[in-house]
Structure 1
Amino acid sequence: MNLYEKIINKKEKIAVIGLGYVGLPLAVSFAKVTDVIGFDISKDKVKNYLNGIDVTKEVGNEALKETTALFTSNEEDLRKAKFHIVAVPTPINKDKTPNLNPVIGASKTLGKNLAKGSIVVYESTVYPGVTEEVCVPILERESGLKCGLDFKVGYSPERINPGDKVHRLENIVKVVSGMDEESLDIIAKVYELVVQAGVHRAESIKVAEAAKVIENSQRDINIAFMNELSIIFNKLGIDTKSVLKAAGTKWNFLNFTPGLVGGHCIGVDPYYLTYKAEEIGYHSQIILAGRKINDNMGKYVAENTVKLMIKANKQIKGAKVAVLGLTFKENCPDVRNTKVIDIINELKEYGINTLVHDPQADKNEVFDVYGIDIKEAEDIKDVDAVILAVPHEEYKELTLEDISSLYNNNYAHINGNKDIDDKKVFIDVKGIFNRNKAEKMGYLYWRL
């Protein structure tokens, strides 16, 4: 009886290390068919899960209350499992180089508690070679076991899309890989227990690692192209959204739109690939160019906000600007690597005060990470400009009349030009409102 057969017969357990946006859905899904241990170093996170509180909003509170998964922050519980899935974040450092500390730390913890006959599968996004060249030596050193003889490894890149209720773990094809045919077969069959869309067996671990980083790099480059078009069309006085709508009538036009590109994947993964490329002597041309454009979009939005405020005769220093939305994407509480913070920081350079609101973000987390006090909806008032940065569903329910009520209507008319002074500066980053209607209502309206 191999490890897969023992798992389905509940004679061996699956352990998921890292219970964030990727690990939690994995643990809950696997727990429906087998015995699962969910491990995270955060005692607060584990406590929330044990109390049925889903801080990620990925599986829901009811699913947590009903799951049979054992959530724990006691690393010794990992010794009860033989199939381990590592799903910890892999961020970047301030200098844009890969920060492998989370995956290294998880490997050390797992290594101390690794049993002979185990299989370890990494899901964290890494550059090609990390699993075998970085993680395996740590596992061997900490466990005293030999990879290939006492335990085996594989890699299966996560494809979770936070906040997406359509593309879920179960219906996204899973890429799997193993160090040999035996481990590949077991890993594939284990994932097939929960992934209804099936699996793709990659030729090697490095192929699977590379596939992950190029998925998001490709998307990053396409969005960078849209952002560059937006900059060009803005200078030409052409509405980018209207251009894309017209171009999109062609059957093979790719449906990408300009926007802020942050988060734990698209805004990070390209740097993992370019870092490895630099190591082998190749300097990226296209990938880094796209990253440069996308990394500067927050500043670009802030600059255009200030330009419109000047046009509306607003006093810049000391002005109040409402920023609606802080998370890295809509309908998701994840604030990791959000580019909205770039807008806020750039406005501060001009002496502008920001009032930040977000119905999805965790207030305590935002304050701990960014030092920003998330305001209640009723506290957003008497502002000089509004930036709708993240199109949460809650904001899509607002009307232009609702937005209008947020402004300071006690304008000091400069040069007696009431027509200009009464204009309300509205930055609709993703363009969810009707431009023509906004302008007819007297808004100074701008969007990417």
Structure 2
Amino acid sequence: MKTIFQKIVDKEESISLVGLGYVGMPIAVAFAKEGVNVIGFDLNKRKIEQYKNGDDPTNEIGAEGIKKSTVQFTANEEDLKLAKFHIVAVPTPVNTDHTPDLSPVIGASEIVGRNLTKDSYVVYESTVYPGVTEDVCIPILERESGLKCGVDFKVGYSPERINPGDKVHRLENIKKIVSGCDYESLEQIKSVYDLVIKVGTFPVSTIRTAEAIKVVENSQRDINIAFMNELAMVFDRMGIDTAEVIDGMNTKWNALGFRPGLVGGHCIGVDPYYFTYQAEKLGYHSQIILNGRIVNDGMGTFIAENTIKQMILANKAPKNSKVAILGLTFKENCPDTRNSKVEDIIKALNNYGIEPIIVDPWASEADAMKEYGVKLTKLSDVHNLDCIILAVAHDEFKKLDINKLNNLYKDNEEKVLIDVKSILNKKELENLGIRCWRL
């Protein structure tokens, strides 16, 4: 009798991707490239139409890659009945009180459950705290399908590790954690993922272990960045340039290479809350992780307050000053605006009566307005500025000619530049008479 892996390879059975965002789309396309029959499902009909028309709003695959792909895009959940191996890759955000918002993964489980057939496999990639797959998702699948997990269908967990906007660390060259509800499912899930993960998979003993790996690897990064952010705040009081300190520190072989900055997005800025939420339910209150979140969540306000300080030192009235923020997405060279901490800078400036101009060549105008209520402006339309906040290190900003940057300011007045990512040459800026502060 053929295994699910053999049936997929022989095109007798299909894989479905539930959720076609920054994570799901690259996975769907990768399997399709290997000759696998792939059904790509998303509730967002507009997104499905974009994919069908060869448009890639995530910019992870590109228009040509989407056009060439054999993925069957659909917003009809009943098409999932044609697949036997389901991969759930929906977002898992947090609520305003920082508790996990499981509604997307619960909704996806209900959809998959309604369309689940006997002998199927369901693998979750969404970031969750340890226990969600077995305690929340499996009961939903069983209830909706009338089938029994471990008998009629199998479940696994394989956390996503895709880094949006990263053209070096791609799906195929990032080792993938895999787990299953039993040994047989682990072997089959591993074999299926090995089709597209060229550097291999890393099987672990339980689903809970796999869930834990995901939340702690991002929590570790969050804590390290929080340490650098705290240093930046202290060095600012000491009158020491943080970037120079870090450059010197990184000459040592065991330096970790972290730098201060805004920590947003749908992973590092969210995952620690999933971990601490479950820990608190078990009676343990985080001593380090939550404090790291507090530091990182406060950086937008810290940057805004230093912007005000620098403008006052430049004899400017902040309320009457014209300020532009370059960058809105949560990270460089990526169109994803979700949970961008640039919003915190905007809000803090608003408290001082400043309505900054927002420039971002990567962000969607529709997303910027929908998520943050801001209108994007083209850089070519920006002029007569008092202050520039370079918030996101897009290549377009890093390559910006320093004289062109200088021309964005008002003539014959002191100019202020806030370099959040320390991407410009401070001495060159100062030689042009630009007051430069960097994080």
Instruction: Work out whether the TM-score is over 0.5.
Output: yes
Q: Which residue of 2 aligns with 1:332?
A: 334
Structure 1 position 118, deviation (Å): 0.5
**CA positional deviation for 1:388:** 0.4
CA shift digits 1:160-208 (9 cap, x unpaired)? 0000000000000000000000000000000000000100001100000
| Residues 390 and 430, structure 1, Cα contact 8 Å, conserved in 2 | yes
What corresponds to 2:11 in structure 1?
10
How many Å apart are 1:247 and its aligned residue? 1.1
Shift of 1:134: 0.4
Distance 1:363 1:331 in 2: 16
Q: Distance in 2 between matches of 1:325 and 1:95?
A: 27
1:36-435 maps to which residues of 2 (within 5 A)?
Answer: 36-409=38-411, 422-435=413-426
Q: Quick one: distance in 2 between partners of 1:138 and 1:180?
A: 19
The alignment partner of 1:347 has SS state of helix
1:225 counterpart SS class: helix
One-letter code of the match for 1:25? P
- TM-score of the pair, normalised by structure 1: 0.97
- State how far apart, in whole Å, the 2-side matches of 1:297 and 1:356 are: 18
Equivalent position amino acid for 1:272 in 2: Y
Question: How many angstroms apart in 1 are the aligned matches of 2:371 and 2:235?
Answer: 35
State the secondary structure of the residue aligned to 1:84: strand
The answer (yes or no) to whether the contact 1:325–1:391 under 8 Å persists in 2 is yes
| Stretches of structure 1 lacking an aligned partner (at least 5 in a row) | 411-421
- For residues 164 and 253 of structure 1, the distance between their equivalents in structure 2, rounded to whole angstroms, comes to 22
| Offset at residue 381 of structure 1 (A) | 1.3
Aligned residues: 437
Alignment check: 8 A CA contact 1:57 1:333 kept: yes
Give a deviation string over 1:374-393, Cα, whole Å, max 9, x none. Answer: 01222211121000000100
- Shift >6 Å, 4+ stretches: none
Pick from 407, 421, 427: which aligns with 1:436? 427
Mapped to 2, the partners of 1:320 and 1:146 lie a distance apart of 62
Q: Quote how far apart the aligned CAs of 1:37 are.
A: 0.2
Deviation at 1:396, TM superposition (A): 1.0
In 2, the alpha carbon distance for the partners of 1:328 and 1:140 equals 37
Partner of 1:415: none
2-side partners of 1:24 and 1:85: how far apart? 11
2 CA distance for matches of 1:220 and 1:53? 33
Does structure 1 conserve the Cα–Cα contact (< 8 Å) formed by 2:333 and 2:362? Answer: yes
Deviations 1:290-328 (A, max 9, x none): 100000000000000000011111112232210000000
Gap runs ≥5 in structure 2: none
> Deviation of residue 399 (structure 1)?
2.2
Structure 2 partner of 1:414: none
Q: Which range is displaced more, 349-358 or 318-327?
A: 318-327
Q: TM-score, normalised by structure 2?
A: 0.99
Equivalents in 2 of 1:380, 1:282: separation in Å?
51
Identity over the aligned pairs, expressed in percent? Answer: 61
Aligned 8 A contact 2:342 2:391 in 1: yes
Q: Paired residue for 2:438?
A: 447
1:406 CA drift (Å): 1.3
Q: CA deviation at 1:409?
A: 2.5
Describe the SS at the equivalent of 1:31. helix
The residue aligned with 1:28 is 29
Q: Measure the CA separation in 2 of the matches of 1:319 and 1:239.
A: 26
1:332-375 per-residue CA deviation (whole Å, 9 max, x = no partner) reads: 00000000010001000000121000000011111111111001
Residue number in structure 2 paired with 1:418: none
CA distance in 2, matches of 1:377, 1:439: 22
| Whole-angstrom distance in 1 between the partners of 2:12 and 2:380 | 55
Does the CA-based 8 Å contact 1:82-1:115 persist in structure 2? yes
Q: Please give the root-mean-square deviation of Cα atoms over the aligned residues, in Å.
A: 0.8
